Amino acid sequence: MEKVELNKSLIDFYRGKKVFVTGHTGFKGAWFINWLHLLEAEIKGYSLPPENDLSLFNIIKSNIQFQNVYADIRDKEQLRKEIDVFQPDIIFHLAAQALVRRSYEIPSETFDVNAVGTANILEAVIHLNKKCTVILITTDKVYENKEIDYYYKEEDVLGGYDPYSASKAAAEIVINSFRNSFFNLNQYAKHQKSIISARAGNVIGGGDWSKDRIIPDIVRSLQKGNFIEVRNPNAVRPWQHVLEPLSGYLKVGMLAYNDHSKISTAYNLGPAPADHLPVNKLVDIAINSWGSGKWNDTSDKNQVHEAGLLKLDISKAGKELNWEPKLNSQEAIEWTINWYKQDEVNLFNFTLEQIKQYQSK
């Protein structure tokens, strides 16, 4: 009964709410606006166009209702204009340069998009003369990762070896600066803004076709009948299905809007402690779910640095949000591979069914 009531409370809250989503054309963003549509929210998306024709956004865009703006998060004049015109109740900031290996190719742009883009959102909110809750999505990689068997907590030191991780840690510093300077909790009655960051684990799910990400690499190889090339087979990550962090974003948005005083500044959203798997285990489960396939270890000591061990402590989200993952790591991988096994004409309906199935858990 509690789960049914939770779903009902989300529907009751988001129905008719004006929700502004940046990065809505990306992998996570497309799942998110699909879910918000089911919750009957009024949605406005602000993002660059999708990067390829296979994107989930292209599958869903003609099947749901939303306002669509193709624009750059770095264009702060247009961003402010679109927010001012829409007058959102809630903003979810997902727009990002989200790939570690790409950040080595475009380091300055990565910082510009992730850190300055976050500042642009928050500067626009300063000028918004209404109550608004802002949830800014960063990453599990914001911590100074010592690559030891330790579950990182929200109060741990921020850092980042690679440009992507460092840019997201910088975004967290930007968020905290704006929160203290312009949206201080002690002055909430004046500004009426709640500012929260969400640090999600390694997200997997159907519709991700990004370069140099493990699930798209696996699926492309399986579809072609090729060996899967695995760069870091022993690397341990906090894998989670895309619907897990999205459920956390939805919940924190509702709770912070209804009572800002009970919601803290940052939350880790990841798997249960036992579900931090090495890459080779993820690949084996994916192959088993697909029904065929083999992989090769292509690790190279000269390749760019990617963390070998990363774990998240999600106890704060459990205590303050009453949030916990619904899928274990094996289920998350199986749900993901099942999506890619569907016929193209069935992908939109299958996406909806996975959202509904997740909600019913």
CA dist., res. 333 & res. 214, Å (int): 11
pLDDT at 51: 86
pLDDT at 320: 95
- Please name the residue ranges forming H helices in the chain: 2-14, 27-38, 56-60, 76-86, 100-105, 107-111, 117-126, 163-181, 188-191, 214-224, 243-258, 279-290, 315-321, 329-340, 347-360
pLDDT at 326: 96
Q: What is the dihedral of CA 220, 307, 152, 188, to 10 degrees?
A: -70
pLDDT at 2: 39
Per-residue DSSP letters for 104-153? Answer: HHSHHHHHIIIIIHHHHHHHHHHT--S-EEEEEE--GGGB----SS-EE-
pLDDT at 305: 66
CA dist., res. 286 & res. 284, Å (int): 5
Reading the chain (361 residues) residue by residue, the pLDDT tens digits are 234 444 778 999 999 999 999 999 999 999 999 999 999 999 999 999 998 888 999 999 999 999 999 999 999 999 999 999 999 999 999 999 998 999 999 999 999 999 999 999 999 999 999 999 999 999 999 999 998 999 999 999 999 999 999 999 999 999 999 999 999 999 999 999 999 999 997 899 999 998 888 999 999 999 999 999 998 898 888 899 999 999 999 999 999 999 988 898 999 999 999 888 999 999 999 999 999 999 998 887 677 767 778 899 999 999 999 999 999 999 999 999 999 999 999 999 999 999 999 998 8
Encoding tokens for residue 252?
Answer: 């924190």
CB distance 330 to 286 below 8 Å? no
Burial of 139 (0-12, 13-18, 19+ CB in 10 A): buried
pLDDT at 249: 98
Encoding tokens for residue 139?
Answer: 């990453």
pLDDT at 4: 40
CB distance 89 to 14 below 8 Å? no
CA dist., res. 217 & res. 69, Å (int): 30
CA dist., res. 187 & res. 59, Å (int): 43
CA dist., res. 254 & res. 244, Å (int): 16
The number of residues in the chain equals: 361
Q: In this structure, what DSSP letter does residue 13 have?
A: H
Picking from 200, 232, 213, the residue whose alpha carbon sits closest to that of residue 301 is 232
Q: pTM for this one? A: 0.95
Count other Cβ atoms within 10 Å, centred on residue 54.
14
Instruction: Give the total number of structural domains in the chain.
Output: 1
Residue 149 belongs to domain spanning:
2-360
353: CATH: 3.40.50.720
Encoding tokens for residue 359?
Answer: 């909600």
